[in-house]
Amino acid sequence: MSKSIYELVDNLPKRNITTMVLNSLDFVVPGEWKNPTNFEQMIRDISQETDEQWIQKIGDRAVWLYNDKNQGYQRALWLYQTVDSADYALGAAALANKVGEKIGFLGFLNKLTPSNQKAQALDLAIKLVVEVVAFCQINGLPGDSIGDFVKALKEYEGEALMRMAALVCIDGLIPFGPDFILAVKSTLDNLSPKELSDNGAFSKVSKFIPGGNPAGQLAFVNRSFGAVTGWMTGFVGDRNLTQDKVMKNLQSFVEFSNDQLDYVAAFLDMSTNYFEHTGTQSIANRLIRRAMLEV
């Protein structure tokens, strides 16, 4: 039996590498992300309810909605988990005992290879497509509703906004610098359908990606990325984000020099699961808000 939504939230770590990385990005979206790790407290915070019976009813309805296989919540969570697990498992165990001290980076260099630019660009594009498809699942929309997603993206807040901020910073600015949109576009423009379907992360999530076959799915990836480039350009410009600013904030807990950027990208892929972590919180948030309307 899969875990209930309240177990999933209650089991989220309060402090690990992922939360430290996300906290270092607070300067990008100040105060948007509080790392909720208690489902009942989330209900209280979102509903502003104090009546215990009412809180219980909202919780019960949220759990029921999550468990209903006809809804898309479990599929969305699976997508968030799966796109992260592709690169997470390698370093998690090695890093677990390092939390709480500043992590010396050099000890990990022998476990890492520098991030391959093509693989890194594809990683960003696939995560973005997973965000589009998960959004559609959570909101009961057809999986190819890119226009609805782009509209909603302008209203993103809280956990969802933090997830997109991390995507821009960790998977965009750190490995590629200010030209990350061009780098990803260039990779996608030169990618064959077979290269896409051979990608480990994509092959795991491909059954939920619209398009019908690898060529159609590659076209969907291209359309999704193209539709969001305006938002990403605005996000970086409005906040005056640079690779340097992101790195300086990360250096508050990871020691590295700027000539190790390729390794930093690989290190963050290996040691964080920010899509799963914030995705769980986003799904819980959506469930609670819907349950409030239905009880």
- 42-57 pLDDT, tens per residue? 999 999 989 999 999 9
Residue 211 above 60 pLDDT?
yes
Average pLDDT for the chain:
89
Answer yes or no: is pLDDT of 220 > 80. Answer: yes
Integer Cα distance of 210 and 137 in angstroms: 12
Determine the Cα–Cα distance for residues 206 and 79; give it in Å rounded to an integer: 10
Average pLDDT, stretch 73-99? 71
Residues in the chain: 295
Residue spans of alpha helices (H) in the chain: 5-10, 17-24, 39-47, 52-67, 73-96, 106-109, 117-138, 146-153, 158-166, 174-176, 180-189, 193-198, 200-205, 214-238, 243-250, 261-271, 274-294
Alpha-carbon gap, residue 253 to 247, rounded angstroms: 11
Per the structure, the count of domains in the chain is: 1
What does the block give as tokens for 251? 């250096």
Range of the domain at 186: 5-293
Pick from 108, 5, 22: nearest CA to 60: 5
At 108 the pLDDT is 61
pLDDT confidence bin for 86, thresholds 50/70/90:
low
pLDDT greater than 50 at residue 89: no
Instruction: Check whether 160 has a pLDDT greater than 80.
Output: yes
Write the CB contacts of 169 (distance below 8 Å, at least 6 apart in sequence): 25, 28, 241, 246
Query: Apex CA 225: angle with CA 220 and CA 181, to 5°?
Result: 150
First to last CA, the chain: 26
Q: Residue 71 and residue 137: Cα distance in Å, rounded?
A: 7
Specify the pLDDT at position 255.
73
Do 183 and 232 touch, CB atoms closer than 8 A?
no
Tell whether the model's pLDDT for residue 9 goes beyond 90.
yes
* 43-47, 191-195, 202-206, 256-260, range with the lowest pLDDT: 256-260
Over range 272-284, report the average pLDDT: 96
Answer whether 0.85 is exceeded by the pTM. yes
Residue 90 has pLDDT above 50, yes or no: no
The tally of CA atoms less than 13 A away on the side-chain side of residue 214 is 11
Structure tokens at 68: 């209903």
The span from the CA of 125 to the CA of 242, in Å, is: 20
Are the C-beta atoms of 82 and 144 separated by less than 8 Å? no
